[in-house]
Amino acid sequence: MLKENDMLINEKVNQSVSILREFGIDCWVTFVRETALNGDPILPFLVDSALTWHSAFIITASGRKIAIVGKYDRQSVEDLSVYDQVLDFVEGINEVFLKTMRSLNPKSIAINFSKESESCDGLTHGMYLTLMELLSEAGMQDRVVSAEQVISAVRQRKSPYEIRLMKSAVRSAETILSEAGRFIKPGKTEAEVAEFMQKRVKHMGLDLAWDPKVCPSVFTGPDTAGAHYNPTKRVVKRGQILNIDFGVKVKGYCSDLQRTYYILNKGETRAPAEVQRGFDTIVRSIEESRKAINIGVQGVGVDKVARDIITAAGYPEFPHGLGHQVGRFAHDGTALLGPAWEKYAEKPFVPIEENMVFTIEPRLPVHERGIATVEEMVIVRKSGAEFISRPQRKLILIH
């Protein structure tokens, strides 16, 4: 019986065959070496162990699945029971690779480079040059295309198993965020809140979804460095807003959530009107942009829905995209819910597909109080986007 991770690899490798057919690409080659040091982001979908020597994973639209690896890596790849052939070498990959490619003789060969998407750009420049030399020797250098379409589809079209793992990661993160709400008190520091949450992650046997220096990010009050800065010794004060940006990883799959808390002043039983108004504006922008997410829609339009609500309420534009995909990484995939800004290139114009998982995370400043921001996760279905997080619709009040 296959292990869970092996089942996932089988699922995604077989999925890639139909994706190649869909895009009319004959062959997809992933070419790597010393992957523990410098691995391709797509590699966990193809193999479950590090590879030392030059290795090639070749998948064709006809359904052929071939792995070429160093002698000592062969058994672990064979154990996956996904590749029709696992070929090995000792002195060098060239001979077996050329023989294989000449036998396949594909009309088009997708390789892992992309100007637009970091998740599809796993082929280093040196490996690109090496691969092109090999393909030139085979007379196939003119058949090369970017694998961006293929890799994007493999990453973003989440399978039922992937979705189950992500839902588990979301529920675990929500549990810890709820516990953090009971831990937060005036006089605690950002760093103390973060340390409490990291201890809970360890106790639950989970992994953090990103760098421990900034997972969680805890930022309180006005004029903070924001969500991508490490928690500091800044003290939680009454009359201010506190935010937490946090996620955990379950069996390789991430959650990414943000929650907003208000620290009540003595004598207060509810947040001041300006704090509540800012929070309510965020909640409304999330709900309306969620409704705008549908198959075939471009992310730039969804981003505009939230951006327009926030600016119409008199707040400045949030200085980032509305939402990103989530998967094996907290920031994963190509399509983006974002504006037409230079740094996002073509990502906001990639059509939304079924089973993509996105965050929705607008923000706005509340004068002298801090930042109102909530981050939810949704999955795209035929009928539209559904929350997979339990949306924060009420401001969390800390006494």
Residues 172, 142 share a domain: no
Q: Assess whether 224 and 367 both reside in one domain.
A: yes
Could you tell me if 69 and 198 lie in one domain? no
Distances, alpha carbon 9 to alpha carbons 38, 163, 217, 222, in Å? 20, 15, 32, 46
SS (H, E, C) the chain: CCCHHHHHHHHHHHHHHHHHHHHCCCEEEEEECCHHHHCCCCHHHCCCCCCCCCEEEEEECCCCEEEEEEHHHHHHHHCCCCCCEEEEECCCCHHHHHHHHHHHCCCCEEECCCCCCHHHCCCCHHHHHHHHHHHHHCCCHHHEEECHHHHHHHHHCCCHHHHHHHHHHHHHHHHHHHHHHHHCCCCCEHHHHHHHHHHHHHHCCCEECCCCCCCCEEEECCCCCCCCCCCCCCECCCCCEEEEEECEEECCEECCEEEEEEECCCCCCCCCHHHHHHHHHHHHHHHHHHHHCCCCCEHHHHHHHHHHHHHHCCCCCCCCCCECECCCCCCCCCCCECCCCHHHCCHHHCECCCCCEEEECCEEEECCCEEEECEEEEEEECCEEEECCCCCCCCEEEC
Structural domain total, the chain: 2
For residue 121, count other CB atoms closer than 10 A to its CB.
18
Is the domain of 187 the same as that of 267?
Answer: yes
Last residue of a domain, one of 125, 155, 185: 155
Domain boundary among 103, 124, 155: 155
Burial profile 245-282: b = 16 or more Cβ within 10 angstroms, e = fewer:
bbbbbbbbbbbbbbbbbbbbeeeeeebeeebebbbebb
Residues 175 and 149 in one domain: no
* CATH of residue 32: 3.40.350.10
Output the pLDDT for position 238: 97
Domain boundary, last residue among 138, 155, 172 = 155
Q: Are strands 207-208 and 248-250 parallel, antiparallel or unpaired?
A: antiparallel
Q: Is residue 96 domain-shared with residue 139, that is, in the same domain?
A: yes
CATH number at 321 reads 3.90.230.10
pLDDT value of residue 150: 98
Q: What is the pLDDT of residue 1?
A: 47
Instruction: Answer yes or no: do 203 and 125 share one domain.
Output: no
Q: What is the pLDDT of residues 125-153, one digit of tens each?
A: 999 999 999 999 999 999 999 999 999 99
Whether residues 187 and 103 fall in one domain: no
Q: Which domain holds residue 176?
A: 157-398
Nearest to 253 by CA among 319, 350, 332, 140: 332
> Quick one: 236 and 212 in the same domain?
yes
pLDDT of residue 224: 76
Would the pTM of this model clear 0.85, i.e. be above it? yes
Same domain, 139 and 189: no
Do residues 141 and 197 both lie within one domain?
Answer: no
Residues 187 and 309 reside in one and the same domain: yes
pLDDT of residue 319: 94
What does the pLDDT profile of the chain (399 residues) look like in tens digits?
Answer: 456 678 899 999 999 999 999 999 999 999 999 999 999 999 999 999 999 999 999 999 999 999 999 999 999 999 999 999 999 999 999 999 999 999 999 999 999 999 989 999 999 999 999 999 999 999 999 999 999 999 999 999 999 999 999 999 999 999 999 999 999 999 999 999 999 999 999 999 999 999 999 999 999 999 876 666 789 999 999 999 999 999 999 999 999 999 999 999 999 999 999 999 999 999 999 999 999 999 999 999 999 999 999 999 999 999 999 999 999 999 999 999 999 999 999 999 999 999 999 999 999 999 999 999 999 999 999 999 999 999 999 999 999
Give me the pLDDT at residue 3, please.
67
Distance between CA atoms of residues 329 and 312, nearest Å: 33
